[in-house]
Amino acid sequence: METVVAAGSGQAIRLMGTALFAQVQKQTGMLRNMSGPKPTQAEVSNKVSKQQSDAGYPIVEIYDLARSAGDTVTMDCIDVVSAYPIMGDANAEGNGSALSFSEMEVRIDQWTFPVDAGGRMSQQRTVHELRKLAKDAAVGLGARYYEQRNLVMLAGARGSLNTMDWVVPLETHPRFAEIMINKVQAPTFNRHYVVDGDNIVQGGQQLGSIDSTDRLKLVHIDALRNIIDNLDLSLQPVKLREDKSSDNPMWVMFVPADVYSSLLMEGSLRAFQQGAVNRAQAGQMGNHPLFAGEAGMWNGILVKKMTRAIRFTPGDTTKIITAANASTATETDQVVNAGLGAGFAVHRCLLLGAQALANAYGKDGKSGYHYAWAEKWYNFDRNAEFAIFGMEGSKKVRFNPRDANGAKTPTDHGVIVLDVAAKATALG
């Protein structure tokens, strides 16, 4: 007997919500391959894994709120324990090092994208075509919102580029904070670097003197790898489930299109591009989408071209954390060098390791899933409006590890930002 799911049934609503979620995730740009496989129902039921996606990826998706009430989810991290050994017969009892924990909360909220499909006469299309056009438009808006919200969170700034495809407004917009759901946090001092000639300088204050010669080169990627190798709290490598070469650590660096074009002027272009091919082959990931398209690899860092950019024009103001405020993460304003050069802008590159961003989901009361949809006819059933809803929120993962003296320092866990100068393509 054929199984028929009636329109409007609970199962049909859930299936549609699941399909919408898959469509939005599939349509997103550079970040669509940055979250790992979701846990199976068996894994959750058997408590083999928490309700979250694979922790080896830059984006960790958390589904705890889909099972319970509330609008926040809490992430805990055991801070690194630092101690000297107790030697010989000296008393060890009662002298154990205390565990300390860092905690961060991710708030979720409901977002909605309604699309008016117009009247029957004005569209001169069938009901099904109206639905498809409106649904596709709404799904596209939801996909861009997911991508842009997470990009801004990871970058720690919205930037001033404001082309028509942006659905996240500028920071000066009165609804910016509401649309972002969680506070956008400037990069911590120990995770923020700026190119200066052939060197990279720690801290965003260097933006005040960045000039047009401070473009991204392969030597800067070498410098970033050296920083990773020497960090007290290392940037954990990205671990793709499909990777068969897990003993060969890898990080992923996203660079804006203008920066990628500038990087291709390097003399070692062939080795740079061949490096990505070799890494994919070593890990038996020849078909993995992360290695598709324009990509290169240098010193263990896979470099991918971004689909959009976080950039600042000369004279723009952005939030930074200075060395003096490193222990409190207090943000201050920094003006980008007004003399940067005509036609140039500062572009923000993102070096991602594991667990850089937490994306938390709730559940729609009607569908019981993260996303849902609705269609409404009005004007005597002559006009249609379609809407999709989502219940989620994202936040950069930040913890407070202790240094050798026991002092805590706020630290972005899985992302390092590198600001570089490059010619800015005129868009708009």
Q: Residue 231: CB partners within 8 Å, gap ≥ 6?
A: none
Predicted pLDDT at 214: 96
Q: How many CA atoms lie within 13 A of 387 on its CB side?
A: 11
Q: What is the pLDDT of residues 203-256, one digit of tens each?
A: 999 999 999 999 999 999 999 999 999 987 778 888 877 777 767 888 999 999
Report the pLDDT averaged over residues 335-345: 93
Predicted pLDDT at 329: 95
Q: Residue 122: CB partners within 8 Å, gap ≥ 6?
A: none
d(CA 227, CA 209): 22
Strand-strand pairing, 357-361 and 59-62: parallel
d(CA 187, CA 157): 9
d(CA 99, CA 372): 42
Would you say residue 343 lies in a domain? yes
Pick the range with the lowest mean pLDDT from 98-107, 236-245, 334-343. Answer: 98-107
Contact 327, 406 (CB under 8 A): no
Report the pLDDT averaged over residues 38-45: 40
pLDDT band at 104 (very low <50, low <70, confident <90, very high): confident
pLDDT band at 324 (very low <50, low <70, confident <90, very high): very high
pLDDT band at 31 (very low <50, low <70, confident <90, very high): low
d(CA 266, CA 418): 18
Spatial CA neighbour of 361 closest among 64, 23, 59: 64
Contact 279, 297 (CB under 8 A): yes
Contact 331, 186 (CB under 8 A): yes
Predicted pLDDT at 13: 43
Phi-psi map region of 368: left, alpha, beta (phi>0 left; psi -120 to 50 alpha): left
Predicted pLDDT at 350: 97
pLDDT band at 75 (very low <50, low <70, confident <90, very high): low
Token pair of 29 as six digits: 């740009």
Would you say residue 287 lies in a domain? yes
Report the pLDDT averaged over residues 351-378: 78
The separation between CA 251 and the C-alpha centre of its own chain, rounded to angstroms, equals: 14
Predicted pLDDT at 116: 78
Predicted pLDDT at 82: 53
Range of the domain at 197: 186-357+411-423
pLDDT band at 373 (very low <50, low <70, confident <90, very high): confident
Residue-by-residue DSSP string for 287-354? T-GGGSSSEEEETTEEEEE-SS--EE-TT-EEEE--GGGTTTT--EEEE--TTS-TTEEEEEEEEE-S
Report the pLDDT averaged over residues 2-6: 37
The separation between CA 295 and the C-alpha centre of its own chain, rounded to angstroms, equals: 18
Would you say residue 30 lies in a domain? no
Checking if the pLDDT of 42 tops 70, the result is no
Top mean-pLDDT range of 91-105, 123-137, 327-341, 369-383:
327-341
Would you say residue 277 lies in a domain? yes
Checking if the pLDDT of 374 tops 90, the result is no
Would you say residue 132 lies in a domain? no
Burial string for 131-148 (b: 16+ CB within 10 Å, else e) reads eebbbebbbbbbbbbbbb
pLDDT band at 10 (very low <50, low <70, confident <90, very high): very low
Would you say residue 244 lies in a domain? yes
How many percent of the chain have pLDDT more than 90?
A: 35
Predicted pLDDT at 39: 43
Spatial CA neighbour of 313 closest among 349, 342, 352: 342
Would you say residue 105 lies in a domain? no
Would you say residue 88 lies in a domain? no
> Quick one: the chain helix, strand, coil %, rounded to 5?
25, 25, 45
Number of domains in the chain: 1
How many percent of the chain have pLDDT more than 70?
A: 68
Report the pLDDT averaged over residues 115-139: 67
